[in-house]
Structure 1
Amino acid sequence: MNVLVSIITPTFNSAKFITETIKSVQNQTYANWEMIIVDDCSSDETFEIVEQLSQRDTRIKCFKQEKNAGAGVARSKAVNQAKGNYIAFLDADDLWKPQKLEKQLRFMVTNQLHFTFSFYECMDEEGVLLNKLITAPRKLSYRQLFFCNYVGNLTGIYDAGFFGKISISNIRKRQDWIMWLTILKQTKIAFPVPENLAIYRIRKNSISSSKVELIKHNYKVYRLYHQLNSVNAAICTLIFLFTQLIIKPTYIKVQKPTI
């Protein structure tokens, strides 16, 4: 198998992390990829770093937004530029294990799947592994995903030949969850690669680290994307909160640190 994979990476003030992220892609055992990086008008040296690295490796394509518009808009621009048979996602501060693409593509082809994701582990902002492995249901239904996002954005890959290029919401947060829901509306079920293939960086003071902010964004998804009335959106948000606090932790495992 030697199909082209387009890797979608939005960046914003990621100068501290972006080189390591790009190197984790360059270290892939599967080499037929393009990494499309769209900088969301960073105020640090992120774009300059990416531009320099792209001059050394033509598989890296870089673009810069004229104004800050959020990760969803940056991802959309990157997807529009993508030429790959498969679309994969990796944020600018996360990392892939070396065999991530090879193993995941083989899993998709062997099982005739058009969308997959994988397990992943966590590290702190300084890159220290936290011995925490995030797993997921081995057979993920649309209903399960509706009440909890079990798909780590840094692990998702879909078949663009089957789905086409899926449009990404310009909502500031939870665009990835909306995209996975769009996919599962068609496939009904998703199967993860039952391996740890990536490393997610937990940032201090980020929106994703604030439970209160996430609840607000989840409510917006139910209201704006699913177009539920305020009462039903609130009920769904409460179910999401219960699932997040009670059920999802059962899929978090203690793991010995690995790289």
Structure 2
Amino acid sequence: MDTNMTVPIISVVMPVYNAEKYIVEAVDSILNQTYSDFEFIIIDDCSTDASYEILQSYAAKDNRIRLFKNDVNKKLPKTLNFGISQAKGKYIARMDADDISLPERFAKQIKFMESHPEIGVCGTWLVEFSKTGEKPVTPNITHEDIIVTMYFSNNCIAHPTVMMKSSIFQQQNILYNENHMGIAEDYALWNECLNNDVRFHNLPIILLRYRIHDNQTTSSNFTKIQSHAQQIIISNLRKYFHSAISENNLLIFANSKKISKLKLSIYTNIRYIIVCLMLKKHNVKRNLFNPQYFNAMLYSDSIVNSIEIRLKGLLLGIKKLHSGKNYGS
């Protein structure tokens, strides 16, 4: 990289492992951003395919790219921590080697971050796509909504969409947990950030195309990721509610999170609803979280909401069937 370059505003950090099928689209989507004041830190985690050779050809043509190669496969958290240690920018933008950032992503995130200095982590909406189709993913937007969802329900910050303040890592000494070995390392990081009063926001704009394929970590390690996430939820429940709600009831709530309420017995659903009522009461009593968002989070996983979603799908199917008959008559 040219040492005479001014310090970039953004440091893009992208780990790569055996991504030769998708790496060209990923790199091009970053280099073609409308906002161009960035360095592109790419770390090849000892790929066994042609990924590194492809990246070398890019690095030879664009001096914004800083290319590194691990001598052994160090897994995602350690590779990310190394990339962040090399970052010079005010902000760190994450990117994955199999995804596609839309051209306005950095421009829109920078504009928001610069005008909202209280925000430490900014994600975006996205589109999941695969060989069979695509669907939009529209996670929670505000910090108050994100914190209750993140603590007690699920990961609502899409890792490859985020732009973060570098100071989170440099001054607050927060890092990816290398013991996670690439399993829910982002969920653990977001929770640590929240525990250190870092504020979050999701831009309600689709700015990334997230590729679904059989070789990605999320697909191959789904059960392990779910297990790690559940342990994080249990830890948060104990932290905020152990004084008012028994361990057994907290585990009923946590264990029910990973299963559709329609698949649980009536008895288990009743117990789950009772625990939710206890959580709502204690939250108001202790003034822990915004009741509007906390109660909405509880409702979103309830049997009532599950039935409503099922009924809406059924009614939509009947409506389509009925309109088709009318069209054919």
Percent identity, aligned pairs only, is 26
How far residue 219 of structure 1 moved from its aligned partner, in angstroms, is 4.4
Matching residue's letter, 1:15 = E
CA distance in 2 between counterparts of 1:174 and 1:64 reads 23
Q: Which has the higher contact order (CA 8 A, sep 6+)?
A: 1
Q: Deviations over 1:37-82 (max 9, x none)?
A: 1111111011111111111111111111111121111111111111
Matching residue's letter, 2:116 = N
5 Å matches for 1:137-156? 137-139=140-142, 140-146=145-151, 147-156=153-162
Q: Say whether residues 1:96 and 2:101 are aligned partners.
A: yes
CA distance in 1 between counterparts of 2:187 and 2:255 reads 17
**Which of 53, 57, 64 matches 2:62?**
57
How far residue 3 of structure 1 moved from its aligned partner, in angstroms, is 5.2
Q: Say whether residues 1:167 and 2:184 are aligned partners.
A: no
CA distance in 1 between counterparts of 2:97 and 2:236 reads 26
Aligned 8 A contact 1:104 1:116 in 2: yes
What TM-score do the two structures reach when normalised by structure 2?
0.66
Aligned 8 A contact 2:146 2:201 in 1: no
Q: Say whether residues 1:114 and 2:120 are aligned partners.
A: yes
> Unpaired segments of 5 or more residues in structure 1?
251-259
What TM-score do the two structures reach when normalised by structure 1?
0.82
Does the residue aligned with 1:203 lie in a helix, a strand or coil? coil
**Which of 6, 12, 15 matches 1:10?**
15
The Cα RMSD (Å) is: 3.2
CA distance in 2 between counterparts of 1:67 and 1:227 reads 38
Q: Which moved more, 1:73-82 or 1:158-167?
A: 158-167
Matching residue's letter, 2:60 = Q
* Higher CA-based Rg: 2
Matching residue's letter, 2:229 = N
Aligned 8 A contact 1:148 1:243 in 2: no
Give the number of equivalent residue pairs.
245
Q: Which moved more, 1:200-209 or 1:7-16?
A: 200-209
Aligned 8 A contact 1:86 1:160 in 2: yes
Closer/same/farther in 2, CA of residues 11 and 111 from structure 1, 3 Å limit: same
Aligned 8 A contact 2:127 2:136 in 1: yes
Q: Say whether residues 1:134 and 2:137 are aligned partners.
A: yes
CA distance in 2 between counterparts of 1:52 and 1:224 reads 46
**Which of 258, 263, 280 matches 1:241?**
258
How far residue 92 of structure 1 moved from its aligned partner, in angstroms, is 0.6
Residue of structure 2 equivalent to 1:256: none
Aligned 8 A contact 2:168 2:174 in 1: no
Does the residue aligned with 1:198 lie in a helix, a strand or coil? strand
**Which of 212, 215, 240 matches 2:223?**
212
Q: Which moved more, 1:203-212 or 1:239-248?
A: 239-248
Closer/same/farther in 2, CA of residues 39 and 141 from structure 1, 3 Å limit: same
CA distance in 1 between counterparts of 2:51 and 2:250 reads 38
CA distance in 1 between counterparts of 2:214 and 2:43 reads 23
Aligned 8 A contact 2:121 2:165 in 1: yes
Matching residue's letter, 1:121 = V
Residue of structure 1 equivalent to 2:76: 71
Q: Which structure features the higher share of helix residues?
A: 2
Does the residue aligned with 2:258 lie in a helix, a strand or coil? helix
